[in-house]
Amino acid sequence: MESSTGKPEGTAFPKDLESIGIVPGAKIDIRDLDTLSKQRNFHVYLYFEEDLARDSTLPKDLQEYSDVPDLERPFIRLDAFLRFATESDPYFVQRLNELPLVIEVIAYGELNIREGRSIPYIKGVMPFLDELTMEDTPGVS
C-alpha cells in the first residue's frame, strides 16, 4: 500500500527498528512502545479496529477521518491516548501495572509532514479488545 509520501506502508521495517524488536506481529507493552518512540523519533498509531488497521493505510485513514475529532476516530496516536487515559483516570498508570496493554505491530510507513520532511510511524492494534468483546457478549463464545 502506498503512503502519501510515495513510500509504501507495509511490513518492511527499517533495520534499526527490527533490531529492537519492532517487527510485524510483535506484541509490545504500550509503555515500552511509548518510550521507544520517543527515543527513536517515530509515531505510534493505535487502531481499535483490526480490519481497518490491516486493510487501510494511515494516510488514507487520516484523510478519511479528517473531519472527526481525534478521540472519536477508530485510531489514535499513542501519546494522545496515554495523555487522555491518564487525565481521565488518575489510577491509569497503576492499572497498567496490573493489566498491561499490549499492542500487535501491524505496519510501518512514513508521513509527509511538511516541505519534504517526513516522520516514521508504526501502526498497531490492541488484539485483546476483540477477545474481551467476544467474552463479554452474551451468547458469543
Contact (CB, 8 A) for 91 and 108: no
Of the candidates 79, 13, 2, 73, the one whose C-alpha atom is nearest the C-alpha of residue 43 is 79
Q: Across the 141 residues of the chain, what is the mean pLDDT of every consecutive 10-residue run?
A: 53 91 94 95 95 93 95 95 93 90 94 85 77 43 39
The pLDDT, as a whole number, for residue 112 is: 85
Q: Give the per-residue pLDDT at 140.
A: 39
3-class DSSP state for residue 20?
A: coil
Q: What pLDDT does residue 67 have?
A: 96
DSSP assigned state of 9: P
8 Å CB contact between 110 and 118: yes
DSSP track, 69-120 = -GGGSSEEEHHHHHHHHHHH-TTHHHHHHHS--EEEEEEEEEEEEETTEEEE
Q: What is the pLDDT of residue 123?
A: 96
pLDDT score of 133: 42
- pLDDT for residue 53: 93
Looking at residue 139, what is its pLDDT? 43
Residue spans of the domains in the chain: they are 15-129
* pLDDT at position 132: 45
CA distance 120 to 37: 10
pLDDT of residue 9: 85
pTM over 0.75: yes
